[in-house]
Structure 1
Amino acid sequence: MFDAYIICGTPRTGSTLLCDLLTSTKKTGAPHSFYRRQDIAEWAEEWGLPDRGTMSGLDFDVAYLNAAIAAGKGGTDIFGLRLMRENLDELSAILDRIHPGLPSDKARFEKAFGRVLYLHLSREDKLAQAVSLIKAEQTGLWHVAPDGTEIERVGPPGEPRYDFQRIRGEVGELEAYDTAWNMWFAQQHIAPLRIGYERLAGNPAAMLISICVALGVQPPDTDDIRPGVAKLSDATSLDWMRRYRLDAAV
């Protein structure tokens, strides 16, 4: 039985779909990106934490960690966290301040969260991943429900614009993040449960059940599993990928 799990991902790998599925079981926590640096102030305000300027940095870190664990459990016995590679070192540094003297990231995570199951969420088609990310950034629309209702919009509607250099740069960065995750797993002697976006998107119920089994939690009935997030890939996405392959071949 695990006390926690960490979804180790990169952008546009289906992490929002996976977080939604895990939360829906009412048994496997309520994972979010609690340690995404841009969101820490917002989370702290939502949890009613004292203003950062009224306490020491260490006291804030401890209060924030305790609140994050409570939120990530969502009334269950298991804590869930979504963690992007770019935030890994920052979280480890925070935990090192709270629990100094431990020999590794893994030891710090286990001291803070208990026995952790690591889920490595990745996407084999890095071109599709890069296109999805750039389209979301340009249009401001990040997630929609199966009925087409907007779930997450971070900016006013914008026109998507094909940009070969930007796509190429994003592909390289996403590949580097995946490599960095794998190097970290090896350094920390962690054997993660590997989750491919393609399999998650193709059969979310099967993937959720396999994670529940790995966590030691009774999985929900297949009929009760209803994904709350839909794909945003469309004809524009396919056109960009076609154009990119042609441009890259020149």
Structure 2
Amino acid sequence: MYGISRGYIIAALPRTGSFLLCDMLARLGSVGYPQEYGLPEDEATWSGHHGHASHLSYFYDFFRFCSTPNGVFGCKLMWSQFAGLRHDIRRYTRIDGQGLEPIEAMTGPIRLVFLDRRDTVMQAISLVRAMKTNIWSSHRTLPPPPLAYSGTAIADAIELIGENRRQWESFFARHAIDPLRLSYEDVAQGDLAALFPFLGVEAPDRPANATQLKRQADDQSRAWRDRFAIDNTA
């Protein structure tokens, strides 16, 4: 389909630098243009951002605009988007199957890159701030509105992240998938050395960490982390 011969999915957890990693890879121009999948209810993505009149036309176009001319497809999916894409493939094409089979029918062989974060508390704080401000990347130039600390919100975010992690790990185990595991901390340092051989593509002859995106953690994030640690000390 669309000349796609192979692909990869960045299986992401919230606030793990997935926008950052996608931006790095897209700038290389040879390893797909990884973007997230807009579910039918996410009209802001498939209509507002991509300009499609129907989700069906967006669905088919998704595989085209996430692929580079050399036949490499890439996308990044949260668990709900991954489950939704598999559902939409069955709904729109009648292609069924177990595990990655429905997606591979559209793209050829798929490899999974699991993107996690070692510091779960900072991950949860980042998620709380993003949900409260609706600022999900440093593309936003306006300063964020002031926020009040909430230990309960951070604890709830930790649980949400954990549930998403369990969903991915369960899927890997059920289908005997051994993903490449990357962490936010490594991606933020531009350490992608293991990625290219795993994907079966030639490593770029220029740095893979070129991006205009920046880390969003700041003094407020670190202050919340310290307060959360004190509040939860036994």
Tell me which interval the TM-score lies in, with the shorter structure as reference length. 0.7 to 0.9
Structure 2 Cα separation of the partners of residues 98 and 139 of structure 1: 35
Q: How well do the aligned residues superpose, as a CA RMSD in angstroms?
A: 2.5
> How many residue pairs get matched?
231
Q: Which amino acid aligns with 1:109?
A: I
Pairing partner for 2:200 from 197, 202, 216? 216
Q: Does 1:201 align with 2:185?
A: no
| Aligned 1:1-150 pairs, distance under 5 A | 3-37=6-40, 39-40=42-43, 42-44=45-47, 49=52, 51-52=53-54, 61=56, 63-100=57-94, 102-144=96-138
Identical positions, percent:
27
* SS at structure 2 position matched to 1:152: coil
> Partner amino acid for 2:198?
A
Q: Deviations over 1:24-48 (max 9, x none)?
A: 1110111111234554454246655
Confirm or deny that 1:168 pairs with 2:155.
Answer: yes
Q: Which residue of 1 aligns with 2:167?
A: 180
**Are 1:238 and 2:222 an aligned pair?**
yes
With over 3 angstroms needed to count, the CA separation of the structure-2 counterparts of 1:75 and 1:121, relative to structure 1, is same
Q: CA deviation at 1:102?
A: 3.0
How many Å apart are 1:141 and its aligned residue? Answer: 3.2
Q: 1:99 to 1:72 in 2, by over 3 A?
A: same
Shift of residue 18, structure 1, vs aligned partner: 0.4
Distance verdict in 2 for CA 1:129–1:38, change over 3 Å: farther
For residue 102 of structure 2, give the secondary structure of its aligned residue in structure 1. Answer: helix
When residues 116 and 248 of structure 1 are mapped into structure 2, their CA distance, relative to the original with a 3 A threshold, is same
Q: Secondary structure at the match of 1:136?
A: helix
Does structure 2 conserve the Cα–Cα contact (< 8 Å) formed by 1:138 and 1:158?
no
Extract unaligned runs of 5+ from structure 2: none
In structure 2, C-alpha distance between the alignment counterparts of 1:16 and 1:136, rounded to whole Å: 13
TM-score by length of 1: 0.82
Name the SS for the 2:147 alignment partner. Answer: coil
Q: Which has the higher helix share?
A: 1
SS at structure 2 position matched to 1:30: coil
Aligned counterparts of 1:200 and 1:48: Cα–Cα separation in 2: 31
What residue in structure 2 maps to residue 248 of structure 1? Answer: 232
TM-score, normalised on structure 2? 0.87
* C-alpha distance in structure 2 between counterparts of 1:112 and 1:15, whole Å: 23
**AA aligned opposite 1:18:** L
